[in-house]
Structure 1
């Protein structure tokens, strides 16, 4: 434990912070009270947030016209074309390497934030401090490079840890903070793993009664979610993933609990959920096959279906997803209308 205490102290020293982040990240699962230690150590949380914020500032400087301005400036001096292209190639390579190393460093800081999100003693303070807002820029970026994908995944891991608690206050915070658009964007455009974690988060939001009512409060909000689910199903028809399909099916099953959503879904279901597109996966996963059958029977039964029964979180297993964080070694990074009848929002 002495080394843990020292590493926490070292977070306040910029020259020692990188190593401290790495060591604490490695030990996070073996130190049960790491979250309270971090939270109550002067400067520790500020250091973690500084790491995250500094990466965002640096990335803005490097990616918004920096290279274009450099090219324009160097060309004005009539550099030899071959030497010039070689120089630019080296610049791009070094820039990527720097981002890769920095990405690992920030991932280690995010991993420690995940520890805070997971611990019952620090989770409420974590939300009261609005720390999830620091993660949203990583979810919102369109950069598909691997360092940014790792940042996106690790940030999703923090949110995933929060929703796994099934605490109403957590769900209410995330809904009010605007998490849904971020998840929907990743569900539509992310990598398979990012899509899976984002869909898992959406599932957990829907399983909460307030979450279901929030998403179905206006037709526009519901339609956005339903259209993205359709897009994910269409993607799965081309690039199958049993794990992602399971979470999509659970989302449909939970949406079928809402009467007006159920009516709308009856005309919005993707064809591949109604034919044999996913039969091979469903035959290997009886639970998902049963959930899909229940959802389709409930939805296609139409309005006033007497057989429709609520599919709350009590009916579904608590979908605990293990979020595997990227390896922390620098060399490890690879190349209008109201749907519910109430007021609109």
Structure 2
């Protein structure tokens, strides 16, 4: 089996696994499913999806993270340790850097919306706010995503909530 074919098989496996986990964490979010995701180290699998996956794998990975952050237990889990927060922040920044390389389509819009939703959720915790202020996702604060924000009022609302929580002025 050649390397290119093997990589395609791994991507299919990654996409399927992340899709199943993402589906488990869909609305209504089950606390047991979130605890299972936390206990099994799902962030590691999300990291692999963001690092090496196709756009759909990246979408599933950020959707999993966002689902975890939507619960108080998941938000606490993601913010209680600085290492965990920085893993998530790093993944979100990689996704922000990836978005401009994409063709603007539904997947691009969904990834952007989920990333800014994650940042807005993280900014609700004081320790995460401190981390976000020190290591700001600069691309959210300049005009890089002005087009996506203008076309998606939900994502724009998340960015504005992030600015508000961080007590920053938006750069328009």
Q: TM-score, normalised by structure 2?
A: 0.86
**2:110 aligned with 1:248:** no
Give the deviation of 1:263 after TM superposition: 1.2
| C-alpha distance in structure 2 between counterparts of 1:221 and 1:163, whole Å | 19
Give the deviation of 1:296 after TM superposition: 1.9
**RMSD of the TM alignment (CA)?**
2.0
Counterpart selection for 1:266 from 93, 117, 133: 133
Residue equivalent to 1:287: 154
Residue equivalent to 1:217: 80
Residue equivalent to 2:63: 200
Counterpart selection for 1:168 from 31, 38, 43: 31
Give the deviation of 1:216 after TM superposition: 1.0
**2:21 aligned with 1:159:** yes
Are the aligned partners of 1:215 and 1:222 in contact in 2 as well (CA < 8 Å)?
yes
| C-alpha distance in structure 2 between counterparts of 1:195 and 1:259, whole Å | 27
The number of residue pairs the alignment matches comes to 163
Residue equivalent to 1:180: 43
Are the aligned partners of 2:14 and 2:53 in contact in 1 as well (CA < 8 Å)?
no
Residue equivalent to 1:134: none
SS in 1 for 2:7: coil
Give the deviation of 1:205 after TM superposition: 0.7
Gaps of 5+ in 1: 1-61, 63-91, 97-142, 302-345
Question: What's the CA shift string for 1:232-273, capped at 9, x where partnerless?
Answer: 112223335212101101100110111111111012122210
Return the index of the structure with the highest Cα Rg.
1
| C-alpha distance in structure 2 between counterparts of 1:152 and 1:244, whole Å | 17
| C-alpha distance in structure 2 between counterparts of 1:171 and 1:196, whole Å | 18
Give the deviation of 1:154 after TM superposition: 1.7
Question: What's the CA shift string for 1:206-244, capped at 9, x where partnerless?
Answer: 111111111111111111111221121122233352121
| C-alpha distance in structure 2 between counterparts of 1:159 and 1:144, whole Å | 21
Gaps of 5+ in 2: none
Residue equivalent to 1:31: none
Q: 1:237 to 1:271 in 2, by over 3 A?
A: farther
**2:15 aligned with 1:148:** no
Are the aligned partners of 1:205 and 1:212 in contact in 2 as well (CA < 8 Å)?
yes
Question: What's the CA shift string for 1:291-312, capped at 9, x where partnerless?
Answer: 11111221245xxxxxxxxxxx
Bigger helix share = 2
